[in-house]
Structure 1
């Protein structure tokens, strides 16, 4: 009476196979529904991004006065990437507050235009840059890697900001 083992029943293996099949089918169905939900969510994000991209293409690009066509293309490209810079940390400024950035050794007229296109107008903004910010600005303005560090823009800008 106490020797009853359910695995010794004649159809025990069949019951186990049926349970295995049901578990596999349920796993497949749940995974499929979950994946379909993810796909619908990603398609919605894609449609939203495509609408934003279309809106960006409709906005007329500001032309730069006195710049050649190639300069305008570069400056517009920099202007479009300016949002990558952390202005909440380095500070915001406008063209009306602009310092003469060409005073900093290593910054010429075109580089100053590039910095302005990126939203950097003042010595204080450059002085507030940390190492990561310098690398990001270097990338955005398409300048020689490491040149900002070598020319010590941050140190020069800090001294010039104190003199003002």
Structure 2
């Protein structure tokens, strides 16, 4: 009845070759994207594992009498203390330390975090710029924007004047 064979049409072989090439290119693109996602996920897992290993090997000479979890956090924060520009905010030592808990928004553990990175006095906090605030906020792992909302810089400036 009908003797229509699609392979006998003119250009059928070329169409098959083109479709094969398109399928191969699409397969390559999808495989490449999938592989890149897997690589990113594995790199993230590796970075997380490296941080965990660093926390385990980091010396815990920070604060005696603290629990392990607190010590790990303080060790992690201490490792980033070098990122702060002390030339701008000033240097201080533990012997010059003010009671930072007087500032609204700073509790005992937050004061320990600040001491670990080298911030001991009202004068240092009063010298913070917006860049310093963001950096300290990131280093001490505090709620973003909280330093500005609690106005640490203004409170510290007032307390430094009274001192």
Query: TM class, shorter-chain normalised?
Result: 0.5 to 0.7
Q: What is aligned with 1:75? A: 74
Long gaps (5+) in structure 1: 1-56
Cα distance in 2, alignment partners of residues 139 and 156 from structure 1: 20
Q: What is aligned with 2:151? A: 152
Q: What is aligned with 2:17? A: none
Q: What is aligned with 1:105? A: 104
Corresponding residue SS for 2:79? helix
What TM-score do the two structures reach when normalised by structure 1?
A: 0.63
Cα deviation, residue 62, structure 1: 1.2
Long gaps (5+) in structure 2: 1-55
Pairwise mapping of residues 1-164 of structure 1 onto structure 2 (< 5 A)?
A: 60-164=59-163
Cα distance in 1, alignment partners of residues 114 and 138 from structure 2: 12
Cα deviation, residue 64, structure 1: 1.5
Cα deviation, residue 60, structure 1: 4.0
Cα deviation, residue 61, structure 1: 3.9
Distance 1:126 1:76, change over 3 A: same
Runs of 4+ aligned structure 1 residues displaced above 3 Å come to: 57-61
* 2:59/2:75 contact within 8 Å kept: no
Cα distance in 2, alignment partners of residues 78 and 91 from structure 1: 19
| Paired residues, number | 108
What TM-score do the two structures reach when normalised by structure 2?
A: 0.64
Cα deviation, residue 109, structure 1: 0.2
* 2:60/2:72 contact within 8 Å kept: no
CA-based RMSD of the aligned residues comes to: 1.6
Cα distance in 1, alignment partners of residues 161 and 73 from structure 2: 32
